[in-house]
A and B are shown apart, each in its own frame.
Chain A
Amino acid sequence: MTAHSIAATLAASARTIDRVDSTWVLWGVLVLLIAIAIHETGEYVTDRQAVLRLMATFGERFVQEFDRPLVRSLPSERVIDSRLRFNPDRSRVEVLLAPREGRVYPNLADHRKNVEYDVGRVLRLMKDPPFVPEPMYAQGRWVVVPFQLRVNPGQAGDK
């Protein structure tokens, strides 16, 4: 009885499947895949934008704090040029600093210690920022201060 009823159910299902058009199945799979891709891309873009925002905020604040003691005598005048270079895939931001015309700071030729001190000072002021500094280097007239986004201990699998 039992075996007979199972066989009947299977036969009915096979008949039902036979009646479905395979084209629709393929379309369904395609739509599903597109939805998954859109979802994933959206998440990727959102994450990337969040990282970029984080980097931009950090970079701008860093430059502002770096600049602050230097512009006190004439607040309307900037005394350094600055740029930010982002690499969100590698979670890396580079702050580029250079003296404006008539000024000599920052540079690594004769002010390396002062720049190192200043980077430390600014990071202390920013109170535990999510970026850690990496060795700085000179590129043309620019002093490049690279920062790496600190890996969240939970994400790294650290217990």
Chain B
Amino acid sequence: MKILLLSTGGGGGNILRSIKTLFRQDLAAVQKSDARYADRLRRAVATRFLDTNEFSLADVPVEERLLIGAGQTRHLGSRHNPAVAREALEESRKDVASVLDDYPVVVLIGTGGKGTGAGTMFPLAQMARERRKLVIPIFVRPSFEWHEVDKRRYDHALQVVDQFDAAQIRCIEILNDRGYSADHPQPQSVVWERMNLPIARALRGLLYVLSDLSQVDPSDLSTLCAGAGRYRIGFAEIDPANGEEPSETQIEEASRQCWENSYYCFTKPAGTSLVCIQGDWSNVVDGRIKGRLAAMAAGNAAESTYVPLHARPAHAPRPWGVTMLCAEYTGNHAPLEIAWPLDSRVSLPTRIQSATPEPVPVVVAAAVAAPVAPPAPIRASIEPPPAARTFSTFRELCLGVNRSDVAALAIAGNGASSSIPIDLAELRKLLGTVWFRTVFTQLSQPWRDRMLDILLQSGPIPNHVVRAGRRTARINELTYEELRQVPIETILPDAVRGDVQLLIAVGTLWGADAIARFTFAEEPQEEHSKKRFSFVGFR
């Protein structure tokens, strides 16, 4: 799964340059402790600089430039006119769309100062949303009080934000006003770094959830991103001494720093939020961090709207810390329909079977969310075949495969005689996650056959009645392609949705023919007619 960082206009480009630099600094630090992990992060992020002005992209690598509106602007800029920028985007719509199509997650960065950013920020977000991308727009509202722009342009920036609200597209709104403090004046570069660092650092957390493995499913992210309102990104580094736990003060300070970000517009209580903790310390520390964040999110409210989604890598190289993508609570919203891809994911590092002259680090770490403190990572060189490791459940094995654990990869590549049990409920849950699709490609044919057999033997699937396009049909009458459209076009009850998504996953992983091998149980007629009525109502 790759994330596209797309800037628009001069201001957005400056922010992206800064984020890129900060992310690279992080990568350099990660490189020292885990080169493969660093490589994985590096390949998971792509940057593109969209602009109407060729000159402002002079220092950007050619392959990262995305110039729009040749006819409209002759690549000389939008003349500080958002309308011209909008037309330029319209002119180059195909080019931009083809870039967006390669990435399921788009972090869009722009400022509302002058022409290109102000004119294209919203249409770009809308374009990404229409293409069922998970889009996180980062929009900077410039300061007129401190003479960055005049009031007219500031008001235009407000209109852009209104457009996001009207279209129910959540965004991060950074308020440049908050970067000026008469009591504690700071150089502009310091302020910008403070504004941008949380974004750069939070990328690691987001990447972990999207392309690694996690207790947080992409569907949870679809819920987090649904509805209008604002996001806030928080980050705090926690740097305990080697082999030691972070102190109480460090935990307190990090939680506070992660929660507070005075640069962001965030006026409502916190709703669904993604909290990613990275660091090799005990679960007691995790619990304290989560508790502090929850206390700050709840505040003095009688009923808290805060719903944390915790993501916890079992192994993460330094720099460690906690990142938080917090969404304002603006009511309950249906999850967004995001087209999570199957093919454009980052390929995992080379398997153990390939001849690697250099020693490959083996990381033996506790499973995700282990109830006891995870042991410190043990590093060793692989020369002989890997020592047999036990994975008590199939999920544990998959987690191991996903983090390129050599022992897990060895079992996954063979595994015909493995005694690891496959639990049906666990398998169904795994099939619903995006990261498992990457794991699936690493599993041998016997593993795949075994999984499919378990699904087929689990008993008949209720033959639900669903809406497919304009007609109503039972799910066994639908083709794989039609099935795929059902959850996108219709709001389904949870039970029906689960079954439909199972069939889609089977069709995706084993092929459309595998769906036909399931047996379907006819539902009672009364129930059928009731459900048909309810589906029509849901449309």
Where the two chains meet, the residues of A that have a C-beta atom closer than 8 Å to any C-beta of B are 69, 72-76, 102-105, 110-111, 113-114, 117-118, 121
Contacts and interface: CB of A to CB of B under 8 A. Distances in A.
A113 B153 CA distance: 13
Interchain residue pairs A-B with the least CB separation, the first 6: A114-B151, A105-B145, A73-B265, A104-B145, A117-B151, A73-B175
Nearest to B178: A73
Interface of B: 141, 144-147, 150-152, 154-155, 158, 161, 173, 175, 177, 182, 265, 267
Contacts of B161: 72
Nearest to B144: A114
Contact of B151 (A72, A74, A76, A118): A118
A116 to B, nearest CB: 9
B265 A69 contact: no
A117 B173 CA distance: 24
Contact of A105 (B144, B173, B175, B265): B144
- The main secondary structure of chain B at its interface with chain A is mixed
Contacts of B146: 104
A83 B265 CA distance: 28
A102 to B, nearest CB: 7
Contacts of B175: 73
A73 B141 CA distance: 10
A110 B150 CA distance: 11
Given A104-B145, A105-B145, A113-B150, A73 B267 contact: yes
A69 B182 contact: no
Nearest to B154: A69
Contact of A69 (B155, B173, B267): B155
23 contacts: A69-B154, A69-B158, A72-B158, A72-B161, A72-B265, A73-B141, A73-B173, A74-B267, A75-B267, A76-B267, A102-B182, A103-B145, A104-B146, A105-B144, A110-B147, A113-B150, A114-B144, A114-B150, A114-B151, A117-B150, A117-B151, A117-B152, A118-B151
A136 B149 CA distance: 23
B155 A121 contact: yes
A74 B178 CA distance: 12
B179 to A, nearest CB: 13
Q: Which of B144, B150, B151, B155 has the most CB of A within 10 A?
A: B151
A113 to B, nearest CB: 7
Contacts of A121: 155
A27 B253 CA distance: 88
Contacts of B145: 103-105, 111
Contacts of A76: 267
Nearest to A72: B158
A110 B151 CA distance: 12
Contacts of A117: 150-152
B402 to A, nearest CB: 41
A114 B153 CA distance: 10
Contacts of B152: 117
Q: Which of A72, A76, A110, A111 has the most CB of B within 10 A?
A: A72
Nearest to A75: B267
B172 to A, nearest CB: 13
A114 B142 CA distance: 14
Contacts of B154: 69
Contacts of A105: 144-145
A77 B267 CA distance: 11
A64 to B, nearest CB: 16
Nearest to B265: A73
Nearest to A114: B151
A89 to B, nearest CB: 34
A69 B149 CA distance: 15
